Amino acid sequence: MADVEPIVGRYLRMTLGGRPHRVYFEEAGQGIPLVCLHTAGADGRQFRHLLNDAEITRHFRVVAFDMPWHGKSLPPVGWQDEEYTLTTRGYVDLILTFCAALGVERPVVLGCSIGGKIVLELARLHARSFRALIGLESADYQAPWYDDTGWLHRPDVHGGEVCGALMSGLIAPQSPSETRWDTLWMYMQGGPGVFKGDLFFYRADGDFRDRVAGIDTTICPLYLLTGEYDFSCTPDDTQRTAAKIKGARVTVMKEIGHFPMSENPAQFRRYILPVLEEIRGRG
């Protein structure tokens, strides 16, 4: 018998910013919808271990989409004359539109890095639309660790190579070689300027220091989990953020960096299963 994984991939058509888009997503499992948001400059393959985890898919319909310009989601028509830039408003619109177009109601959203950051805005503005929100490597602000994102997109430096080489340091040294290099491969495959465009949101537009106090976790629970080896969004950044949000739950994950679900799925599982179990228990 063929060794086929339970993950199914399809394309969803939707309108974003008044323009037609075709968004690729993968899903597995049944039950509570769990929509997963990948990191900047990567794609939904980061969640392949979650999607293949029978313990999770027994109770959750796990859905991971590739943002437009990422993975198998093409940029919109006319992209060739544009510079891709992710904004807070555009990102929120993408998530809400995707969930509505797919017909998932009150999903749990789990996002990492830019995905972890945007759940803070989902929590503030749209808490009633979600069953729970989970931010991995999430903070209202994080100090930059290199000055010029221009290095990510210029003709004399290979974008994929430099993105991969920069990201390699954000993976914990304990993470297995196989999943470390899977993670970096996705960075090496990004389209020109896409990672840089995502970082506009991560580094500039997504400064939520004056906003997160408006989050009400009694409407929608908020879980923040950050890897101890993440020096982009540090555990201190997450804890400082959570200190402003009454009821936010923080976990610092040992032997994990910036890409928990992708760099070390087995270690991440130890932290995420109890969270998912708790969310399920809340009904």
The residue ranges that bind another protein (CB under 8 A) are 143, 145-146, 151, 156-158, 161-162, 164-166, 168-170, 172-174, 228-229, 231
Interatomic CA distance for residues 169 and 93, integer angstroms: 31
CB of 110 or CB of 170, closer to another protein: 170
Interatomic CA distance for residues 66 and 45, integer angstroms: 8
**What SS3 class is residue 59?**
coil
CB of 171 or CB of 212, closer to another protein: 171
Smallest distance, Å, CB 143 to another protein? 7
Smallest distance, Å, CB 137 to another protein? 13
- Provide the 10 A C-beta neighbour count for residue 134: 27
User: For residue 174, with 0-12 CB atoms within 10 Å meaning exposed, 13-18 middle and 19 or more buried, which class applies?
Assistant: middle
Smallest distance, Å, CB 194 to another protein? 18
CB of 89 or CB of 158, closer to another protein: 158
CB of 20 or CB of 176, closer to another protein: 176
Q: What is the DSSP string of 219-280?
A: TS-EEEEEETT-SSS-HHHHHHHHTTSTT-EEEEETT--S-HHHH-HHHHHHHHHHHHHHHH
Please answer whether residues 62 and 47 qualify as being in contact, where contact means their C-beta atoms are separated by less than 8 angstroms: yes
Strands (E), 85-202: 108-112, 132-136
Please name which of 52, 88, 83 lies closest in space to residue 150, comparing C-alpha atoms: 83
CB of 78 or CB of 173, closer to another protein: 173
Letter for the amino acid at 148? D
Smallest distance, Å, CB 231 to another protein? 4
CB of 42 or CB of 122, closer to another protein: 42
Smallest distance, Å, CB 229 to another protein? 5
> Which residues are 252's β-sheet partners?
226
CB of 42 or CB of 133, closer to another protein: 42
Interatomic CA distance for residues 171 and 280, integer angstroms: 30
Smallest distance, Å, CB 145 to another protein? 4
Smallest distance, Å, CB 151 to another protein? 5
